[in-house]
Structure 1
């Protein structure tokens, strides 16, 4: 490889590296995948799984299944377990769905009867850019002012460390 190509590759890794750690792929249903729940007691298993996770914009869901399908639907279609015009449909067995906004997403199986037996899920995607609620004057007065000190979020620390490591690796290998 030429030096110019190596420098170009390093710059791509440095500037794009931070965005690589900002999203997560979640495998729906863990090892069982996207299946009809085995018993009536498990009819909320996907909503229970979803409540154990925190989803944000650009995260993806991986639906693994055989002889089935997955549809994103409206809240009304979710409640009825029927969708004549799904917002998203796939039946390829390895479906990846990317969250492009915050808010609620509703998923059901497209196979007749599967949704009624519990193969459905609601996901809440968090708006991580949301600003915290304003503080009252009393709360502000009780906290010491940190003038000139920047506070980093855990994700900011991870992103900074990732960029540092990639930069160091580029310097070593170029």
Structure 2
């Protein structure tokens, strides 16, 4: 019993681990091997091109790798992003690696607060979508088809209080005596009265075992 219970617990843990693996957040190294720099190859479009090839999901993490003391990471508004309106007083992360969790859907805007770095192309915008798509609605059930003409109507039900007339017995053939009707065909073994009782008892035992495993 204890071995079965332990096996059930292991199966439950494996199932939970599979679910967690499917919803596990992804780390994105900003700029790849180039990292977070004020002079990216390709100029101002470098980080935009990098982000365009990635699908960002809610709870994913951006990892900014840079030389501590030479750059920062600051989240700013779209207006400030478009105009590179940043200064040293803007709240920023100053230590590398800077890890930023994309904790909601929508657009995020980042830049470096060092003077001139944003204008040189050290700026990044990402669009974050939901972790999983909304479940699609199933197809509508088909409408019932009306009966076509010519369909045989159901047999009428006799009114209450009326006793239906039983069918006439079939006369014996060649003078043989009528044999009593049997519910089974030749060669079939009639079920024993104890079969149903055994089935109920087996089901009860199985139910007790399952309950003990779960609780």
Deviation at 1:21, TM superposition (A): 3.9
**1:30 alignment partner in structure 2:** 32
In 2 relative to 1, CA 36–133 (structure 1 residues): closer, same or farther, beyond 3 Å?
Answer: farther
Q: Tell me, in whole angstroms, the C-alpha distance in 1 between the residues paired with 2:113 and 2:121.
A: 12
Q: Which runs of 5+ in 1 are unaligned?
A: 1-6, 135-139, 146-174
Deviation at 1:64, TM superposition (A): 0.2
**1:58 alignment partner in structure 2:** 59
Q: 1:14-70: CA deviations, max 9, x gaps?
A: 53552244211010011110012346x421100100000000001101100012111
CA RMSD of aligned residues (A): 3.4
Q: Tell me, in whole angstroms, the C-alpha distance in 2 between the residues paired with 1:68 and 1:24.
A: 24
Q: Tell me, in whole angstroms, the C-alpha distance in 2 between the residues paired with 1:81 and 1:9.
A: 54
Q: Tell me, in whole angstroms, the C-alpha distance in 2 between the residues paired with 1:133 and 1:11.
A: 28
Structure 1 residue matching 2:49: 3-state secondary structure: helix
Q: Tell me, in whole angstroms, the C-alpha distance in 2 between the residues paired with 1:102 and 1:51.
A: 16
TM-score (norm 1): 0.62
- Give the aligned length: 132
Higher relative contact order (CA 8 A, sep 6+): 1
Q: Which runs of 5+ in 2 are unaligned?
A: 1-7, 143-215
Contact 2:40 2:122 in 1 (8 A): no
**2:72 alignment partner in structure 1:** 69
Contact 1:37 1:45 in 2 (8 A): no
Residue 119 in 1 paired to residue 122 in 2? yes
Stretch deviating more after TM superposition (114-123 or 30-39): 30-39
**1:18 alignment partner in structure 2:** 19
Contact 1:25 1:61 in 2 (8 A): yes
Match of 2:83 among 77, 80, 87: 80
TM-score (norm 2): 0.51
| Structure number, greater radius of gyration | 2
In 2 relative to 1, CA 14–131 (structure 1 residues): closer, same or farther, beyond 3 Å?
Answer: closer
Deviation at 1:72, TM superposition (A): 0.8
Q: Tell me, in whole angstroms, the C-alpha distance in 1 between the residues paired with 2:107 and 2:33.
A: 24
